[in-house]
Chain A
Amino acid sequence: MNAIARGWRGLRWYLRTFSGESRWDDYLAACERDGVTPASRRAFERHRADQVEHAPMARCC
């Protein structure tokens, strides 16, 4: 049971990190550490999308 729970947590961690979803949590943690009021989730995600806009994303054959 313990192993299944660990496996599930690992998978969840992997998928959230892989998809970039965990960035928001990292950002919140960083804001708390620095004592800054975080921006809204929408503003944060929009900022990230704007960064992707200018980076060519290569996909191979």
Chain B
Amino acid sequence: MTTTQTRPDHRGGNRVRSIAIWSVVALVGATCWAVLALSRGEDVSALWILFAALSSYAIAYRFYSRFIAKKVLELDDTRATPAERLENGVDYEVTDRRVLFGHHFAAIAGAGPLVGPVLAAQMGYLPGTIWIIVGVILAGAVQDMVVLFLSMRRDGKSLGQMVREEIGVVGGTAALIAVFAIMIIILAVLSLVVVNALAESAWGVFSIGLTIPIALFMGFYLRYIRPGRVLETTAIGVVALLLAIIGGGYVEQLGLESALTISKEHLVIALVVYGFIASILPVWMLLTPRDYLSTFMKVGVIALLAVGLVVAAPVLQADAVTSFATDGDGPVFAGKVFPFVFITIACGALSGFHALIASGTTPKMISKESHVRMIGYGGMLMESFVAISALIAAVVIDQGLYYSMNAPAGMTGGTVEGAAQFVGTLGYTITPDQLSAAAAAIEEQTLVSRTGGAPTLAFGLSQVFHEAFGGNLQAFWYHFAIMFEALFILTAVDAGTRVGRFMLQDTIGNVWKRYGDVSWRPAAWSASAITVGAWGYMLYIGVTDPLGGINQLFPLFGIANQLLAAIALTLCVTLLIKHGKLKYAWVPGIPLAWDLVVTMTASWQKIFSDNPALGYFAQASRYREARDAGELLAPATDADQMGTVIRNSMTNGVLQSVFAILVIIVVANAAVIWVRAIRAGSLPTTEVPHTPSQIVAPADFFATADEKKAVAAWEDERRPVRSGR
């Protein structure tokens, strides 16, 4: 690597400077962590969390990711990447490292890191902060980087394919089913977040609804009026989007308020119909323009949030650790800090879903092997930063308000009086008047039981922006934040439904060849309908559950995502052992062991716990017994609702069991291979042999002077060859 070729005469000075800089970073980090660890009962600024995170990321990137790159993976810039060897201008394409970083980040980051930390805030700010930072450094970023590397060395093969070829057919089949099922759950829970944010919010429905015509307009504009002018089109779209948010403030004056105040059930139908249509329409019409909008909004809002936090420097309102963490009786979701904080916060610390992206498009576009470090590890650190910002937004709002918003309607009764009283029983104080005033400040009808995380985050963001930038814009900021979360989620739903459709067509295509043809309408439509139907059903379950959908489904979502991570990390361990690198197997091995302990404990509790608040089957049998005895159990108000609770709990319990079993199959299958590989010393893998690379490019975000020189020399050398072609 060019970075190490610093000339000896410069070395002494550089070395001293580098040691000085990293000592300062370490000192800042240590101070921030010490403050967070030692402060109790006094005013703690949110900036301590922010800077603890940033300095920890910097140190982890500089030292740990470098260790993984050099020793564990042995990234080799003399090897040609698939993009260089197979370049075809379609999927294999040599891409500038910074541009690819942007693409990869846009693909992995979405609503997940925004929602999980908000819900996990019921445990206090400390457990979430520690897990997000330690988790990303030792688990999440490691997974992303290693999977990206493994897929790159295999011409960009998918996770499922790699599991089948490197672990076995049994494991591979289990992984394939798990991936599809997990995706359905993820889509359902993300949609549930949107439904909860938009239900009974005319402003929200108005703005989000308008994103559809805006995206359609952009699609047609790009195709027929100004082909290829993406930036111009996106600028128009963003302006239209901002106008749509502002316009939402006038729904009352426009007389649209009652028409746009839509119940959750109707929103489910709208979302399912929308998802189906979006998945069969040509992508240029809706999906591509929506994706441009959401990507630019994403980056803009994250930058705005970072600036806002530093300027506003809010004070933490939550306790460091709440009693719910130790007693497991929190209203947002049931269970103790272990294992539930580690599954509630998935994206931002460790997210199995990233393994699908890291083994999809990104590895086919890497120009040099060394870029795996900045894109895989660096990209995930950036997502973790988003999660930390979301956590801060949730813990700087008044905690009485936090619990009023996040306790299910079954507990608060859905009224300000009920919420105030319920929050009082938790040991927090807020008056009905304060609750009404908070809702009025952001021009919403109510903030009681607005579960799902999105409204809470939006409220937190609006408060931070309001403090940072002034003006009387809190309502605008709230709806701006809702809009941007909904935009992410709808993009994920569009794209996810399409991916699900492709996966289904591909799988059935193995048996019935014609079905695999993605342009054959009957196949495309039926596969889309099955995918939409599956997540639509789960979404409906969540929406109608008297116990509160987020409360019931979010653990399932978190466990599913972390189980997918277990499959990915199992693959990483397997391949390191097969390559004869047993002594480094701990790098993915430690996060794998931790992840398995967490997910299996959580699965065990959700399946076998005899506490009805926690165990799905215990819950089902408690309600069944009550129903058979002719009783009604709160929050159910009639026999129908009793039936709903029983049916939903059974469904969730069965799904939970299936996921856990699938993962156990994959790990057991892999363990057989581990033993075999350890005995043999190493085993052959599907890694593509070394082909010399011609490309010269800097290794990290910023090019060193030597790297710049090398690139310039290479470009000079290439010029005459090109014109001779």
Contact = CB atoms under 8 A, between A and B. Distances in A.
B357 A42 contact: no
B99 A17 contact: yes
Interface string B209-232: 000000000000011000111110
Interface stretch (B8-16, B107-115, B243-251, B407-415): B107-115
Given A15-B231, A19-B230, A46-B227, A57 B283 contact: yes
A16 interface: yes
Interface string B261-289: 00000000000000000000011100110
Contact of A59 (B110, B223, B230, B282): B110
Interface stretch (B60-68, B316-324, B346-354, B707-715): B346-354
Contacts of A21: 228-231
Interface string A13-45: 011111111011000000001100000011011
Given A33-B722, A61-B186, A56 B498 contact: yes
Contacts of B282: 49, 53
Interface stretch (B130-138, B162-170, B489-497, B533-541): B489-497
Nearest to A12: B231
B227 A42 contact: yes
B357 A58 contact: yes
Contact of B284 (A14, A19, A34, A52): A52
B39 interface: no
Contacts of B96: 17
B19 interface: no
Contacts of A17: 96, 99
Contacts of B227: 41-42, 44-46
B228 A45 contact: yes
A61 B351 contact: yes
A4 interface: no
Contacts of A52: 283-284, 288
Contacts of B102: 14, 18
Contacts of B314: none
B499 interface: yes
A44 B227 CA distance: 9
B234 interface: yes
B656 interface: no
B231 A59 contact: no
B291 A57 contact: yes
Contact of B223 (A16, A44, A49, A61): A49
A51 interface: yes
Nearest to A43: B227
Contacts of B725: 33-34
B499 A58 contact: yes
Interface residues of B, number: 53
A19 B353 CA distance: 24
Contacts of B98: 14
A49 B281 CA distance: 13
Nearest to A24: B228
Contacts, number: 104
A56 B351 CA distance: 20
Interface in B96-141: 96, 98-99, 102-103, 107-112
Where chain B touches its partner, the secondary structure class is: helix
Contacts of B519: 54
A16 to B, nearest CB: 7
B357 A60 contact: yes
Contacts of A19: 230-231, 234, 292
Contacts of B417: none
B720 to A, nearest CB: 12
Nearest to A48: B228
B229 to A, nearest CB: 7
A23 B404 CA distance: 51
A58 B347 contact: no
A60 B499 contact: no
Nearest to B219: A49
A21 to B, nearest CB: 5
A5 interface: no
B230 A61 contact: no
Contacts of B38: none
A53 B287 CA distance: 10
A55 interface: yes
Nearest to B227: A45
A37 B496 CA distance: 39
Q: Which of B227, B354, B495, B561 has the largest count of A CB atoms less than 10 A from its CB?
A: B227
A49 B112 CA distance: 29
Nearest to B112: A61
Contacts of A23: 228
A61 B107 contact: no
B91 A55 contact: yes
A53 B360 contact: no
B502 interface: yes
Contacts of A18: 99, 102-103
B190 interface: yes
Contacts of A34: 725
A6 B519 CA distance: 46
B145 to A, nearest CB: 16
A29 to B, nearest CB: 10
Contacts of B351: 60-61
A61 B561 contact: yes
Contacts of A53: 282-284
Contacts of A58: 107, 356-357, 360-361, 495-496, 499
B518 interface: yes
A42 B229 CA distance: 11
Contacts of B229: 21
Contacts of A41: 227-228
A59 B491 contact: yes
A51 B253 CA distance: 45
B700 to A, nearest CB: 17
A41 B226 CA distance: 9
Contacts of B110: 59-61
A33 B98 CA distance: 27
A3 B91 CA distance: 35
Contacts of A33: 722-723, 725
B511 interface: no
7 contacts: A18-B99, A19-B230, A19-B234, A46-B227, A55-B91, A60-B357, A60-B492
Q: What are the nearest 9 A-B pairs in CB distance?
A: A61-B112, A19-B230, A59-B495, A45-B227, A45-B228, A56-B502, A56-B499, A49-B284, A42-B227
Interface of A: 14-21, 23-24, 33-34, 41-42, 44-46, 49, 51-61
Given A21-B230, A49-B282, A60-B353, 20 more contacts: A14-B98, A14-B102, A19-B234, A21-B231, A41-B227, A44-B228, A45-B227, A45-B228, A46-B227, A55-B90, A55-B361, A56-B495, A56-B502, A57-B361, A58-B107, A58-B361, A59-B107, A60-B357, A61-B190, A61-B353
